[in-house]
Amino acid sequence: MAKSKVKHGFRLTAEDVVFNIINYTIFILFALICLFPFYYLFINTISDNALVGAGRIQLLPKGIHFNNYIGLTRINGLGTSFIVSVARTVIGTVLMVGASALVGYLVTKQEMWGRKFWYRFLVITMYFNAGLVPWYMNMSMLGLTNNFLAYIIPGIISPYNIILVKTYIESIPAELEESASIDGAGYFRIFRCIIFPLCKPILATIAIFGAVGHWNSFTDSLILMSGKPELFTLQHRLYTYMNEATNLAAMIQQGGSDIGNLATQASMNMRPIKFTVAMATVIPILLVYPFMSKYFEKGIMLGAVKG
């Protein structure tokens, strides 16, 4: 459109200028609103803790130091939570991607025994849900409470991702597979040597969404791991720290002034530490973000196709 304007010799009218100014302003403002909170958290973690406690850090860091980040190692349980979060993200994502690729391939094979039935059996699970309590009772029946495997095993199968892979495989020319099968390759060999490498773009997409989901999830940790704090995820830790703050704040409002003063003081001292924990959980996302963004559009557009 920009080109056609030049070609036809149109000039920006006064109306266009006003429109552009308003439009640019609104979008840049919204982008700043999206970015500022992270910046604000960050400057509060690297500024002088006394100033942070007094609420003196607003737009620029003062008295820069990194002791809060070093201090993270001294918080009990945070290290194990970090390991748990990383482990579930890596193992869970790898297994989910592998399973989605294999199942996505298998359901494209017309000759499979009962293919139609099993495919429906799988896809229909996207549309119903037993509810939270039956799910919890089921997990406990399977021995998956207070058990690290609870983070991994239920997430292996993701019908939505399987549909994405299946649709992608269907777009690969069938001749590739046929020629390999004539050369005597078995199903698994075809999958490993031909289908899997060709599916890498879509697998990268679902891997990113899977990894972000694993990294960010905290309700499963909250509900299933109540008896084993060493299996809490990082998000769950942050939730408990933040929850303490909320309770303190509620106490300030409801309780007497004595409790109030004590609580305020405690919460003030905790502020930089909490923000540092928050930064530690958000930094991994921000670091991989530039690599992820190119897969967004592809993923969401493929998601628009139906099973």
Partner 1 sequence: MTATQTVKQAKKPIDFIGYFLRIMIIITLVCLFVPALNPTHMSELMNDSDSFFTSGISYGGIADAFKRAVTKGYIEQGVLVRTYVGALTSLIGMAAMLVGCAMTIGEIKFKRLGAKLSLIGSAVSVAGLIFVKLQQSGFTNAANPERIKPLEPVGAIIFIVLAGICFLLSLLYLLKLPKAAKEAQWVMEGQYRLFLMMAPFIVLVFLFSYLPLWGWRYAFFDYKPGQALTPDNFVGFKWFTYLFQNAATRADIGRVMINTLAMSGIGLAMSWLPLAFAIFLTEIKCGPVRRAVQTITTIPNFISWVLVYTVAFALFSSDGFVNQFLLSTGLASESTDFLIGNDGIWLKMYLWGTWKGLGWGAIIYIAGISGIDQALYEAATIDGAGRFQKIWHITIPGLMPTFFVQFVLSISNILSNGMDQYLVFRNATNTSSIQVLDLYVYMLGLGKSNQIPLSTVVGMAKSIISVILLFSANKASKAIRGSGIV
Residues 105/260, Cβ–Cβ less than 8 Å:
no
Per rule CB under 8 A, count of chain residues that contact partner 1: 104
Question: Distance between the two ends of the chain, CA-based, in angstroms?
Answer: 36
Using rule CB under 8 A, residue 268 touches partner 1: yes
Which 208-247 residues touch partner 1, going by CB under 8 A? 212, 215-219, 223, 235-236, 238-239, 242, 245-247
Closest contact distance (angstroms) between CB of 47 and partner 1 is: 13
Residues 113/187, Cβ–Cβ less than 8 Å:
no
Query: Judged by CB under 8 A, which of 75, 87, 153, 262 binds partner 1?
Result: 153
Q: Where are the alpha helices (DSSP H) in the chain?
A: 2-8, 14-46, 49-53, 67-71, 78-106, 115-123, 132-141, 149-152, 159-170, 174-182, 187-190, 196-198, 200-216, 219-224, 234-254, 257-303
Q: Which is nearer to partner 1, 56 or 200 (CB)?
A: 56
Query: Judged by CB under 8 A, which of 21, 193, 297, 305 binds partner 1?
Result: 297
Residues 185/176, Cβ–Cβ less than 8 Å:
no
Interacting span for partner 1 (CB under 8 A) from 65-73, 75-83, 124-132, 171-179: 124-132
Closest contact distance (angstroms) between CB of 67 and partner 1 is: 19
Query: Judged by CB under 8 A, which of 176, 289, 291, 305 binds partner 1?
Result: 289
| Of the candidates 244, 246, 240, 238, the residue with the CA atom closest to the CA atom of residue 282 | 238
Interacting span for partner 1 (CB under 8 A) from 19-27, 60-68, 165-173, 193-201: 19-27
Burial of 188 (0-12, 13-18, 19+ CB in 10 A): exposed
Which 64-123 residues touch partner 1, going by CB under 8 A? 99, 102-103, 106-107, 109, 111-115, 118, 121-122
Query: Judged by CB under 8 A, which of 31, 83, 176, 266 binds partner 1?
Result: 31
